[in-house]
Structure 1
Amino acid sequence: MFRQLSIALAVLLAAGCAAAGDEDGGDKGSSGTGPITFATGRDTTAYLQPLLDRWNQAHPAEKVTLLELPEAADEQRAQMVANLQARSTRYDVLGLDVVWTAEFAENGWIIPLERGLFPLDRFLPPVVDTAVYKGKLWAVPYTSNAGLLYYRSDLIKKPPRTWAELREQALQVTKKHNIEGYAGQFLAYEGLTVNFSEAVQSAGGQILSPDGTEVILDQSKARTALDFFVQGLREGWIPKESLTYKEEESRLAFQNGHLAFARNWPHAYGPAMSKLGGKFAVTRLPGPDGPGASTLGGVNLAVSAYSKHQQTAQEFIRYFTSLENERRVLTDGSFPPVWTELYDDPQLIKRFPYLPVLKQSILAAKPRPVSANYNQLSLVIASSVAKAITPPFSESPDDAAASMKTELEEIIRTQ
């Protein structure tokens, strides 16, 4: 009798612990099936519900619920990190910015995935690399991104291939037409880190070593990149207003006819078409001596280490990144897909004329610094660049590059 009471008490205690785990933090490594929650940024969700409905109709016992996080990437990350640090089971599938892979993997917040479960060989190779950390696959590419140069084709006969050509054309068009020259995302936030990284890469440099353990930023390459921005701001073909621009501000300035050139992601193409019609086109970003190297963007899908239903989460990711759904990502959401063959589809190219240029840009693009401390690195880069490019230009490009490298090395030493 005593033994039976002991067993019953142990079962009750175990059930109580399991219930507490569901509320305060799950048992890491669960591989079960059941309902799941998909947490991703609100800026990528407008077209998703039909895709979720198809899954839910086919999987009534494993329904997915969409949880919309803030539009700003920094706020998305903050909410995810708070959830995962609390070991909460609320999130199952995470829509991660491609630069977060290393941080989330290093902290044990997401689980490694089996490569053979996903058709990675049919994805764009650089995109797959953003989901790999220390030789393991930690997420599955869902959307990609690369910066493009938007230009007014009614005002510019031949798009610039070099920074010198961009400068010359921007100066000419500002004199001849009531329009500003060139802008990117120059506010001191992640967008400025991206724009600077692209300039450094286009000049033949890199910020970190491929494994993220060493700062290899060459000061001359950094100075070349900073000089490009400073020269434009001093000469006026980069308007001072652009120092307040994020993606949305630069998109609106271009599509409303205030800019001849703008660096932006592919999502700006549709709105520009609705406003400007056939008066604009896109090309690869220019560089010092020819086409430059964009920075890779996009979203990868990962499974929370604290999810109670990891098997369902992985099956949902397989469904969500299938060829059929990736086509809808483009046609319904206007986001760049990750399947290579979609960029060569004649019907899609007719509808989205930028696809061939975008494919070239993605294949030539570089990832941002790979580090578990990426957020700190980005803050240092953006802050250092802002000091150099903001009037009255109190810090020289050389000084800004030197202090940036010193601060980055300190972060790498302490990680």
Structure 2
Amino acid sequence: MPRSRRSPRRAARPAALALVLVLAACGGGGGGTGPTVLEWYNFPDDSGALQQAADTCGQASGGRYEIRYNKLPRTADGQRQQLVRRLAAHDAGVDIMGLDVTWAPEFAEAGWIREWTGALKEQARADTLAAALTTATWKDRLYAVPYNSNTQLLWYRDDLVAGPPRTWGEMLGQAEALARAGKPHHVEVQGAQYEGLTVWFNTLVTSAGGTILTPDASAPSLGAPAVTAAGIIRDLARSPAADPSLANQMEDQNRLAMESGTAAFELNYPFVYPSMKANRPALFPHLRWAPYPAVTADRPASVTIGGIDLAVGAYGRHPELAHEATLCLRNRDNQLVNALKGGLPPSLRSLYTAAELTASYPFAAEVLTALDSASVRPRTPAYQNVSIAISHALSPPSAIDPESTVSSLSGQIEDALASKGLIP
């Protein structure tokens, strides 16, 4: 064979070898050239706590793995949509994922996440709050590990009111008195047509002694407690206490309104505390906290639990390392950083009495009390459709007619559980 025909083939071999080496070094697939790269998909965190946890755990692994933190969209709906698309396509690049506390039943039923068993399950359960574990469990099997928990408190300004209201009725009365006096008086709460409105409704229903679904999650329950809950939402929306933007407000808009000085009360998560401290130092000394308002004075509120659960993807190539890394990501030190930097309450009970937390988290006892009596959102693989039906029926809040709205909602929930009809 002529030399000129052999030379290109010989020249290609070093180039091909170099390409293989580069791909092996970058791939992180456990080929022996470096640590295995575990892909972690979670909510976008601006505090740096999640990236710090990923880096710390990678360093602690002794070079066996590193964790790449991939930021999901900001909204819960967008986060779920991206994960569902990847998992439905059997994406092997999803090793660890952060699930909203309502997603475990759906993802487990679809076979998208791995069950935690044996010693791993015991490590995951140790010191973890009972209500948080409930969110990660489906059909008595543990499918995720609570990364952080969350609950809402009542935040109020002590320069406007002498003491916090105990009930929704008292709060509306105080707000109306402030309005008559020409003072800041709005009650900030999540009234937009999204998951936050469902959470508000669920908290009010359970605080009134009811549930949205029957115990076996096969049918709507609702009844008188739901009518009471819908009435409270409507009453706020039609009162001077309502922010003019109530029907479009989410958690962050509530935070900003409180920081702007136009509100007297806010129902929100603890992230508002470090935010007020950083953004409005002059107003910060007047920000106080109290238990979530009750529906009636004789029954404490049962606040809907929030948070993120970490699950191991069913199609990832490194499940053993993924389980190990997940336990590291939610260990004591990383949860403490997440609480202090990001304002997200831990899922480990012992942290609530730790001096490191309570020094910067003076409301830790109130958060723990709320979590110990927390309610959970309806436990069903069809939760997404149920939630959409609820937020649609209650929007806008000012248009609610308690009896007819709840009656209509009952039928919509029946259809959602049976996967019938169109999603509103």
Match of 2:286 in 1: 279
Letter in 1 for 2:165: P
Q: How far apart are the structure 1 equivalents of 2:209 and 2:407?
A: 18
Q: Deviations over 1:188-213 (max 9, x none)?
A: 11111111111111111110134422
C-alpha spacing 1:210/1:157, structure 2 compared with 1 (3 Å): same
Question: Paired residue for 1:397?
Answer: 402
Q: How many residues align?
A: 378
Q: Is the 8 A contact 2:208 2:295 kept in 1?
A: yes
Give the letter for the 1:300 counterpart: D
In the alignment, what sits opposite 2:108?
105
Specify the alignment match of 2:369 in structure 1. 360
**Counterpart in the other structure of 1:90:** 93
Aligned to 1:29: none
Equivalent in the alignment of 1:196 = 201
Q: Aligned ranges for residues 249-260 of structure 1 at < 5 Å?
A: 249-260=253-264
Could you say what secondary structure the match of 2:146 adopts?
A: strand
Corresponding residue number in structure 1 for 2:25: none
Q: Which amino acid aligns with 1:361?
A: A
Q: Secondary structure at the match of 2:49?
A: coil
1:123-202 superposed matches below 5 A? 123-202=128-207
Structure 1 residue aligned with 2:220, among 202, 215, 219?
A: 215
Whole-Å separation in 2 of the counterparts to 1:57 and 1:193: 40
1:412 Cα offset (Å): 1.9
Per-residue deviation, 1:63: 1.5
Q: Post-superposition shift, 1:321?
A: 1.7
CA RMSD of aligned residues (A): 1.7
Q: Letter of the 2:136 partner, please give it.
A: A
Match for residue 340 of structure 1 among 332, 336, 349: 349
Normalised to the residue count of structure 1, the TM-score between the two structures is 0.87
1:330-363: CA deviation from partner (whole Å, max 9, x where unpaired) = 1233211111111112442232111111111111
The aligned residue for residue 318 of structure 1 is 327
Aligned partners of 1:151 and 1:282 also within 8 Å: yes
2:272 counterpart letter in structure 1: A
Q: Please give the alpha-carbon distance, in whole angstroms, between the structure 2 residues aligned to 1:44 and 1:318.
A: 22
Work out whether 1:386 is the aligned partner of 2:395: yes
Paired with 1:46 and 1:73, the residues of 2 have a C-alpha distance of 19
Flag the 1:347–1:45 CA change in 2: closer, same or farther, 3 A: closer
Please give the alpha-carbon distance, in whole angstroms, between the structure 2 residues aligned to 1:171 and 1:265. Answer: 24
**Is contact 2:44–2:72 with CA below 8 Å preserved after alignment?**
yes
Name the SS for the 2:285 alignment partner. Answer: helix
In the alignment, is the contact (CA less than 8 A) between 1:101 and 1:133 conserved in 2? Answer: yes
Q: Is the 8 A contact 1:210 1:370 kept in 2?
A: no
| Aligned-partner Cα distance in 2 for 1:92–1:35 | 9
Tell me, what secondary structure is at the counterpart of 2:94? Answer: coil
Q: Tell me what 1:240 maps to.
A: 244
Structure 2 residue identity aligned to 1:272: M
* Alignment of 1:226 onto 2:230: yes
User: Would you say the 8 A contact 2:175–2:240 is kept in 1?
Assistant: no
| Aligned counterparts of 1:316 and 1:121: Cα–Cα separation in 2 | 16
Q: Which amino acid aligns with 1:225?
A: A
When the two structures are superposed, what TM-score results if normalisation uses the length of structure 2?
A: 0.85
Question: Percent same amino acid at aligned positions?
Answer: 31
Structure 1 residue identity aligned to 2:64: A
Higher Rg? 2
The residue number in structure 2 matching 1:14 is: none
In structure 2, relative to structure 1, the CA distance for the partners of 1:347 and 1:38 (3 Å cut) is closer
Give the Cα–Cα distance (whole angstroms) in 2 for the partners of residues 208 and 335 of structure 1.
28
SS of the residue corresponding to residue 42 of structure 1 reads coil
Q: Deviations over 1:228-268 (max 9, x none)?
A: 12122223222332111011111100121111011111111
How far has the Cα of 1:414 moved from its partner?
A: 4.1
Q: Match of 2:146, as an amino acid?
A: P
Is 1:263 the counterpart of 2:270 in the alignment?
A: no
Whole-Å Cα distance in 2 between the matches of residues 318 and 375 of structure 1? 27
CA change 1:52–1:313 in 2 (3 A) is same
Q: Distance in 1 between matches of 2:247 and 2:385?
A: 21
Q: Which one-letter code corresponds to 1:190 in the other structure?
A: E
SS in structure 1 opposite 2:245?
A: helix
Residue 102 of structure 2 aligns to a residue in which SS?
A: helix
Contact residue 254 and residue 262 of structure 1 kept, 8 A = yes
Offset of residue 292 of structure 1: 1.3
In the aligned structure 2, how far is the partner of 1:204 from the partner of 1:44?
38
The yes-or-no answer on 1:413 pairing with 2:422 is: no
Instruction: Quote the offset at 1:180 in angstroms.
Output: 3.0
Q: Is the 8 A contact 1:115 1:137 kept in 2?
A: no
Q: List alignment gaps of at least 5 residues for structure 1.
A: 1-32
**Contact map agreement 1:170 1:237 (CA 8 A) in 2:** yes
Deviation at 1:115, TM superposition (A): 5.4
Which residue number in structure 1 is paired with residue 69 of structure 2?
66
